[in-house]
Amino acid sequence: MSLSATNDKAAQNRFAAADAIDSSYAWLRLAINVAIGTVGGVGMWSIVVAMPAIQAEFGSDRGSASLPFTLLMLGLAPGTVLMGKLADRFGVVVPLMLGCVMLATGYFLSALATSMTMLMLIFGLLIGMLGTSAFFAPLMTDISFWFQKRRGLAIGLCASGNYFAGAIWPPAIEHFIALYGWRATHLGIGAICLCIILPLALLLRRKPPPQPMLQTAAGSAGGHSLNLSPRMLQTLLVVAGLGCCVAMSMPQVHIVAYCVDLGYGPARGAEMLALMLACGIISRSASGWILDRIGGLSTLLLGATLQGMALALYLPFDGLVSLYVISAIFGLVQGGIVPSYAFIIREMFPPAQAGFRVSLAISATLVGMAFGGWMSGAIFDLTGSYRVALLNGIAWNLVNVGIVTWLLMRGRRLRLAAAIA
């Protein structure tokens, strides 16, 4: 072999190593994904902060003012599946660039909205279905291809981009709404998204490395069969995701309005939301470490159980300091729930199906957020209090806990039966 050929082969080996699973490039790609998720995640949180101002301008009730968020989340559900399919076929760059353009267009048009109906359609179609949907599940799926030993940690950190968005955007948006109004603020959001997301997306053009043949068959967890069809397992995960996020939506969607009702003002509510989601970053990072050690289902059960307990704390306490503390606790215990679904899918289904199946599971959580956000507002309008809405959230959380407990117990029974046989 010639010296030139040897040098070329060595260069190819070095290039392959740089692009390999768990490589330094994988960590760089994770950082880029988190940055994109942080900026693109604004779509989920801006309307929460702007809700009181929009409600006042259009003279609507609380339930109606919650509808832009509801349609946003409902639009995210099919949009997430669409973006997952696009990522499976063309790579993650295509949905990211499409989502960026649609997100920015949505914010520009929302600044011109003349009615609540128009605003609802903009948030549902452009900001939700075709915009924000590109910046969560597709990013988690993409990063899962670049890690094996620390896949749970990588997915948890990637999912934290959404919570970084929740920690950074709400105080900034509340500040600029107070200074310039919500319409001018939305114009600024659209411009920021275009200027930051598009160039970052172009840095993700490399194709994922070949995946190791370590995946278990559908319907298995950690190599132990659950003896369920792929369709049944996916359905159970969808229902569990719906239940957990109906519960999760109550404080995340209504904490600002709740603080306004209690006389603390929207700024305090925005601070609580930011604190909740900042603590969620810690939770998601920690849950990634836990995922790599105890698996997806066990981590999901742990997070869902703690979420229900934290949600119950809002019932007896409504003082200003108490709400700050409870919001922090809520963020610390529930941040790992949604990333667990992506990890479970990668444990139980083939890599070729990852984009679609992760997106399908995540879309169920988004429907839960949409349904729960609207339901809590409607319950408030009927009762004049968020107490019943909190109890409703706790009940839905029990659905998630019940399904995951059943799956874990089923897996243990089957393992025990196999050991005895």
Q: pLDDT value at position 18?
A: 55
Q: pLDDT value at position 213?
A: 54
The closest alpha carbon to 43, from 60, 66, 68, belongs to 68
pLDDT mean across residues, the chain: 86
Q: pLDDT value at position 86?
A: 92
pTM: 0.77
Q: pLDDT value at position 49?
A: 85
Mean pLDDT, range 128-133, rounded to an integer = 95
DSSP secondary structure of 117-130 = HHHHHIIIIIIIIT
pLDDT digits (tens, 9 = 90+) for 392-407: 999 999 999 999 999 9
Residue 2 neighbours by CB under 8 Å, 6+ apart: none
Mean pLDDT, range 45-58, rounded to an integer = 85
Residue 254 neighbours by CB under 8 Å, 6+ apart: 66, 373, 376, 377, 380, 386, 389
- Residue 391 token pair: 């109890």
What pLDDT band is residue 212 in, cutting at 50, 70 and 90? low
Please give, one letter per residue, the 3-state secondary structure of 205-264.
CCCCCCCCCCCCCCCEECCEECCCCHHHHHHHHHHHHHHHHHHHHHHHHHHHHHHHHHCC
Sign of CA dihedral 45, 51, 53, 54: positive
Q: Please state the length of the chain.
A: 421
- Torsion angle defined by CA atoms of residues 35, 157, 353 and 351, in that order, rounded to the nearest 10 degrees: 110
Percent of the chain scored above 70 by pLDDT?
Answer: 91
Q: pLDDT value at position 44?
A: 84
pLDDT exceeds 70 at position 36:
yes
Mean pLDDT, range 219-230, rounded to an integer = 60
Write down the domain spans for the chain.
20-207+216-420
Comparing 260-264, 280-284, 323-327, 406-410, the range with the smallest average pLDDT is: 280-284
pLDDT digits (tens, 9 = 90+) for 295-345: 889 999 999 999 999 999 999 988 999 999 999 999 999 878 988 998 888
Report the DSSP beta bridge partners of residue 220. Answer: 225
User: CA 312 to CA 250: how far, in whole Å?
Assistant: 11
pLDDT exceeds 60 at position 266:
yes
Could you tell me the maximum CA-CA distance found in the chain, to the nearest angstrom? 82
User: CA 314 to CA 50: how far, in whole Å?
Assistant: 23
What pLDDT band is residue 9 in, cutting at 50, 70 and 90? low
The closest alpha carbon to 178, from 266, 107, 91, 287, belongs to 266
Q: What CATH topology corresponds to 20-207+216-420?
A: Growth Hormone; Chain: A; (1.20.1250)
Mean pLDDT, range 202-230, rounded to an integer = 67
The closest alpha carbon to 251, from 157, 181, 165, 332, belongs to 332
pLDDT exceeds 60 at position 155:
yes
Report the DSSP beta bridge partners of residue 224. Answer: 221
pLDDT exceeds 60 at position 7:
no
| β-strands 220-221, 224-225 pairing | antiparallel
- Matching residue, tokens 């490589």: 23
Q: Are 350 and 132 contacting, i.e. CB atoms less than 8 angstroms apart?
A: no
CA distances from 52 to 113, 174, 181, 257, 284 (A): 16, 11, 12, 7, 29
Mean pLDDT, range 163-190, rounded to an integer = 91
The amino acid at 56? A
